[in-house]
Amino acid sequence: MPLSSIISTRRSVLISQVTLVARISSGVPRMNVQSPPPSILKIESRTQYVSPPFGPADVHSDPLVQFRQWFANATAPLNAEQGKSSSTNPTFSTKSKVLEPEAMSFSTATASGIPSTRMVLLKEVDLKGFVFFTNYTSRKSKEMIENPHVALGFYWKELRQQVRVVGRVEKLEEEKSDRYWKSRPLQSRVSARASLQSSVILDEEELAKRVKQVEERFGVQEGKDVDIPRPEIWGGWRVIPE
Ligand SMILES: Cc1cc2nc3c(=O)[nH]c(=O)nc-3n(C[C@H](O)[C@H](O)[C@H](O)COP(=O)(O)O)c2cc1C
């Protein structure tokens, strides 16, 4: 198996640089893999999945309306008391029924149909579709440019619920990408500027150097927000269900 087909934060395999930037800056320790893994992995656990009854009569005729309804349920506070202390943005509340309901698997494929999947975060569901943000030079973006057919999947473990969306992508309007970029925390804007997604980096030092260069270029100082312009290679995509 080529190393480039594996995404991991372990050393010596392809490193997701955004993940790594976040790991460096938050001081998360590196993974420690000491003992060799078993040569054959058998998963013996069995989970009994019990879900409430569900049929065609329970589904709205407009899938986007249906999704918004399901998402609202997933982000609803666990109980009324917790709701009072939840964040004002329910999407990021750790007290909602589902932890990180906006995390979705996102599958693209090359023009010849070779698929690949990774996780991304849903940021908006507008009247046309599902919006997320990424680097336009990443593997996923390159694949979307040559083949607009994509699929995404949500698994809301706490609700025993999964949702699949199949559709085609279009680039998000520039002004929407600008608006979202400005709303991101400073560290995320610096990370996005410093990282070339989907490419191999030599070591963490190299990445830390790139972060420092961005901070110096834009005059980032502790405790002070700075206007860092959105790079052309970073922005949104919209998945329009079909
Ligand atoms: C929970 C989770 C959420 C993520 N969200 C995003 C995201 O919104 N945008 C993004 O570009 N990468 C996100 N990533 C990193 C991607 O999974 C991936 O590693 C990176 O985008 C490079 O993917 P590619 O090489 O397939 O293009 C996320 C990773 C995790 C684990």
Measured distance CA(218)–CA(105) in Å, rounded: 34
Listed residue (171, 146, 150, 161) closest to 75, CA to CA: 161
User: If you average pLDDT over every residue of the chain, what do you get?
Assistant: 85
C-alpha separations of 118 from 8, 16, 107, 148, 198 in Å: 11, 11, 7, 16, 11
Helix (H) / strand (E) element for 166: namely strand 161-171
Task: Give the ligand 1 atom nearest the CA of 7.
Answer: 19
**Residues paired with 162 in a beta bridge:** 155
1-30+123-146+172-242 fold: Pnp Oxidase; Chain A (2.30.110)
Q: Whose CA is nearest to atom 17 of ligand 1?
A: 119
Contacts of 61 (CB under 8 A, 6+ apart): none
| Model pLDDT for residues 70-98, shown as the tens digit of each residue | 999 999 988 754 545 444 555 544 588 99
pLDDT in tens, 198-236: 778 778 888 899 999 999 999 998 878 899 999 999 999
Atom of ligand 1 at shortest distance to CA of 106?
Answer: 17
Contact 189, 16 (CB under 8 A): no
108 lines ligand 1 (CB under 6 A): no
- Edge-first strand order for the sheet with 149-156 is 115-121, 103-109, 149-156, 161-171, 234-241, 130-135, 124-125
**What pTM does this model have?**
0.82
- In the chain, where the domains are located: 1-30+123-146+172-242
DSSP 36: P
Q: What is the mean pLDDT of residues 128-134?
A: 97
Per-residue pLDDT reduced to its tens digit, 143-161: 999 999 999 999 999 999 9
* CA 186 to the chain's CA centroid: 18
Model pLDDT, residue 27: 58
Ligand 1 pocket test, pick from 118, 135, 141, 180 with the greatest ligand atom count within 8 Å of Cβ, gives 118
Pocket test for ligand 1, best of 105, 156, 197 (most atoms within 8 A of CB): 197
- Say if ligand 1 is within 6 A of residue 233 CB: no
